[in-house]
Structure 1
Amino acid sequence: MRTIGELSAETGLPHHVLRYWETRFPALRPLTRAGNRRYYRPEDAALVRRIDRLLNHEGYTIRGVQQLLAAEAKGEPEDGIATALTAIRDALVDALARDGRG
């Protein structure tokens, strides 16, 4: 698990952007512990990277990303598989980057 500071450093996204996205994307729900510290699970971190890619690199709007995530949450089998594969790919890219190979 990562703190908001660690995830911010990894992704280059400011803390306030991560907190804002929590209000806009219901699937992004980090754990909160003592002192309201946020702890992002690997699946949260993968979702943050995906939202960042969609918004900042693929030209989606916040509403467009919301609609895409909502459609996937409805359980279309192909979409669920694609989401899982995207999360796995993002985790592997992240691991390679941390290992100095990416």
Structure 2
Amino acid sequence: MTAFDDGKDDSALRTIGEVSDALGIKPHVLRYWEAQFPLLKPLKRSGGRRYYRPTDVALVETIDRLVNREGYTLKGAEAVLRSAGKSDLDRRTDDRRSGDRRADADSDGTPGVRLMVTESPDMAETIAALKSIRARLAAALGA
């Protein structure tokens, strides 16, 4: 989690400006993400002023990582957040830091979308099946 250099306690509420400055994310992007991610709901006080709790800041950091570093779309990132419970999300973040590898679905050089997944036997079978379907579709289209 981001360490704020503002003298406040780690559990203090933060304004949208403080979060924006600390994370390097423009306030309008944070407001947009609130509309796109129902899980992101900072407290709103009189006049509509937003106050981000530490859990909100952690969620913003996760959204930023998924969208801006791992290449998820907003809908994809939302699906990841919905499917992952808080403890599962924390565990996956820790796994990545400890060297969990990403599998590249297109490592064979064929064009397509790069999938960011953790390696498992079930996932390897799924990727192989998808590649087979893609090859059959390409053959049917004469590509």
Tell me if TM exceeds 0.5: yes
In the superposition, the TM-score normalised over structure 2's length comes to 0.53
Taking the aligned partners of 1:25 and 1:54, their CA distance within structure 2 comes to: 13
Q: Is the CA contact 2:81–2:89 (under 8 Å) kept in the aligned structure 1?
A: no
In the superposition, the TM-score normalised over structure 1's length comes to 0.73
- Considering Cα pairs closer than 8 Å and 6+ residues apart, tell me whether 1 or 2 has the greater RCO: 1
Q: Which residue of 1 aligns with 2:16?
A: 4
Q: Which residue of 2 aligns with 1:81?
A: 87
Stretches of 4+ moved more than 6 A in 1?
A: none
Q: Is the CA contact 1:43–1:87 (under 8 Å) kept in the aligned structure 2?
A: no
Percent of aligned pairs with the same residue?
51
For residue 39 of structure 1, give the secondary structure of its aligned residue in structure 2. Answer: strand
Q: Residue 57 of structure 1: which of 69, 74, 87 is its match?
A: 69
Q: Deviations over 1:14-37 (max 9, x none)?
A: 010000000000110000011110
User: What is the aligned residue count?
Assistant: 82
Q: Which residue of 1 aligns with 2:42?
A: 30
Question: What displacement does 1:6 show?
Answer: 0.2
Gaps of 5+ in 2: 1-12, 95-143
Which protein has the bigger helix share? 1
RMSD across aligned positions (CA): 1.9
Gaps of 5+ in 1: 73-78, 89-102
